[in-house]
Chain A
């Protein structure tokens, strides 16, 4: 009987310790500065634009994309890549964080990307991923 009680008490102690550890872990571990988080998102958007550019070039070369759509995507993706460069430059500038935030919000405001005219599913998904990541950056700087 005593052994059973002892085992129950020990288990309860372990459970309480584990639960209190888990509960406190989440909010205290994220100390990443906002500039670094935005730069990581910018890295993700740059990678997504790169994949979309290669897909556009491939589909265009294979004749699977109309010259009009390919041309529009070409322009929009170049603007997007330059937007991504501008975000990286702003994050490295000497501007204080509040100014960086508002400047980035202006930079991201209009990339001209539109997935509506893209019929290829892979390219469409990629364009949507770019738009979504830009929106995440916009949300992050507006918080």
Chain B
């Protein structure tokens, strides 16, 4: 009897914790929403700007080296 009365509050305490955990994992399992075409285009534009700036700097550095 003593054990049963002890286990009831324990179940009450644990059930919300387990439910929260399962909810959090379910959220993790949900795939990230796909990027829109507009977002992809913006992302590509930003990345390309970085690529071009780096390559311009690279070519400027290399042009300082004698052709050999």
Contacts and interface: CB of A to CB of B under 8 A. Distances in A.
A119 to B, nearest CB: 16
Given A6-B11, A57-B62, A28 B47 contact: no
Interface residues of B, number: 42
Contacts of A54: 61
Interface of B: 3-4, 6-7, 10-11, 14, 18, 21-22, 25-26, 28-35, 40, 43-45, 47-48, 50-52, 54-55, 57-59, 61-68
Interface of A: 1-3, 6, 10, 13-14, 17-18, 20-21, 24-25, 28-29, 31, 33, 35-36, 39-40, 42-43, 46-47, 49-50, 53-54, 56-57, 60, 67-75, 77-78, 81-82, 84-85, 87-89, 91-92
Q: Which 6 A/B pairs are nearest by Cβ-Cβ distance?
A: A71-B68, A21-B25, A81-B55, A88-B48, A46-B54, A88-B51
Contact of B40 (A36, A47, A56): A36
Interface SS of A by simple majority: helix
28 contacts: A2-B7, A6-B10, A10-B18, A14-B21, A17-B18, A17-B22, A31-B32, A31-B35, A35-B40, A39-B43, A42-B47, A50-B57, A50-B58, A53-B62, A54-B61, A60-B66, A67-B66, A71-B66, A71-B67, A74-B67, A74-B68, A77-B62, A78-B62, A81-B62, A87-B51, A88-B47, A88-B51, A92-B44
